[in-house]
Amino acid sequence: MARLTRDQWRQLAFRALEQFLAERGGAVVWPEVEATLAESDWLHRRLDPSIPRNWVVDPHHLTWARQALAEVGRIARDAQELSGREVVAWVDPRAPAERRKTEVVRLAARKRRAYRSYLSWTTAKLCGDIAESIVDATLRRLGGRIVWLDEQKPGSVYRLQGVEIPGGPLDSAGHWAIDPSDPGAGFVPFAVEVKNVRSTIYPRSREMWDLLAKVGHFPDVVPILVTRRLHWTTFRFLKDIGALAYMGERQWFSPSIDTDEFNRIARFFGFDDAIQVTNPGASNEALAEFFSRRLYRTREDANAPLMLAARDRWKQVASVCAAYDELRKDLGGEERLELWKQFIEDLGETGVEPSGWASPDPAG
């Protein structure tokens, strides 16, 4: 099939979301939608077998489809407060007219309760700290060969190069060996932020800027994001500004959570990549490969290893990123968009031309 335009993707998202809501009984939570429509082969299996198996609907198109369906009365927001926290389900508002009101209300309540349980596991102790421990264990395994770590507690890196980090701590920091067999070849300072979240991270995402705005004050320190999932435009964005990212395609949780309950809820919502880590103090093989092999691969357009190419570009643009601390905040859509436009303009002053990531709504 030919590449789709933005409008075609939107129409596909509209069809997919409407059918998915019907298949799920008229009630869903939004991460359930994204886990299936944006991260699996559902389009091929359930919507149209002529659609390539690897095609998914990006989250921003799903958001557009949700708004469009709401405008025509085919989906509605249904929020309730559970244990002091608002939990949102999205339901088919036509259920009462179709004599399915009781069925849909009960299903929405069940899904909200299950999702509230999932949210209770996304605390620092049960989720965030687990990922930070894995990253720290992996870097320490590589210590003395590939990296030399700063002696600061994981998740509590308050200083880089002896200077306090504006905006709060990062998760790890150290120096990467340009040539592991020759210490005299020098090192590249780096800082790591870990975002163990379900959402797909876009260039404008708050989680992205929690790293970039902080490390922007340190043009000699390459920023590295470790997370579950990145949109394709984010990889282009990072390449252009000289930052790096590891996409693990896993959301890590504590082994202390009741395993049966965890598996039940993960399966219920299709969170296939949500896993309990048996030993959070053990290193991760794929992450170790990222630091020990992938960063040494030559980036063809720069004729240099990925880490060195990133270092050279980051020096050029770091100060611009440092000026956009506001993007770390949970801003409204219009306010964030205006800041984003200003950032693109300021970035252009450094000579960086966006390679397909600058639009607030990518075409593909």
Among all chains, which residue has been given the structure tokens 């708050």?
Answer: 206
pLDDT at res. 52: 96
pLDDT at res. 2: 63
pTM: 0.95
Beta bridge partners of 246: 226
Question: In 71-104, which positions are buried (b, 16+ CB within 10 angstroms) versus exposed (e)?
Answer: eeebbeebeeebeeeebebbbbbebeeeeebeeb
Classify residue 210 by burial, with Cβ atoms within 10 Å: 0-12, 13-18, 19+. buried
Q: How far is CA 43 from CA 25, 85, 232, in A?
A: 18, 33, 19
Least Cα distance to 137 among 295, 307, 279 occurs for 279
**Interstrand relation of 159-160 and 163-164 (parallel, antiparallel or unpaired):** antiparallel
Residue with more model confidence, 197 or 356 = 197
pLDDT at res. 1: 52
pLDDT at res. 299: 86
Residue with more model confidence, 353 or 168 = 168
Question: In 242-280, which positions are buried (b, 16+ CB within 10 angstroms) versus exposed (e)?
Answer: bbbbbbbebbbbbeebeeeebeebbebbbbebbebbeeb
Residue 97 identity (one-letter amino acid): A
Where residue 361 falls among pLDDT bands split at 50, 70, 90? low
Q: Does 364 score more than 90 pLDDT?
A: no
Least Cα distance to 320 among 201, 223, 216, 218 occurs for 216
Where residue 137 falls among pLDDT bands split at 50, 70, 90? very high
Residue with more model confidence, 130 or 98 = 130
pLDDT at res. 356: 86
Where residue 360 falls among pLDDT bands split at 50, 70, 90? low
pLDDT tens column, 319-346:
999 999 999 998 887 899 999 999 999 9
Q: Count how many residues are written for the chain.
A: 364
Mean pLDDT of 205-223: 97
pLDDT at res. 151: 85
> What domains appear along the chain, each with residue ranges and CATH number?
6-120 (1.10.10.10), 124-348 (no CATH)
- Contact call for residues 111 and 28 (beta carbons, < 8 A): yes
Q: How far is CA 168 from CA 25, 65, 163, 216, in A?
A: 44, 37, 12, 13
> In the predicted model, what is the mean pLDDT of the chain?
95
Where residue 363 falls among pLDDT bands split at 50, 70, 90? very low
pLDDT tens column, 253-273:
999 999 999 999 999 999 999
- Contact call for residues 168 and 201 (beta carbons, < 8 A): no
Mean pLDDT of 192-211: 97
- Contact call for residues 166 and 325 (beta carbons, < 8 A): yes
Residue with more model confidence, 209 or 356 = 209
pLDDT at res. 154: 86
Cα–Cα distance measured from residue 288 to residue 243, given in angstroms and rounded to the nearest whole number: 18
pLDDT tens column, 56-66:
999 999 999 99
Mean pLDDT of 79-91: 96
pLDDT at res. 167: 93
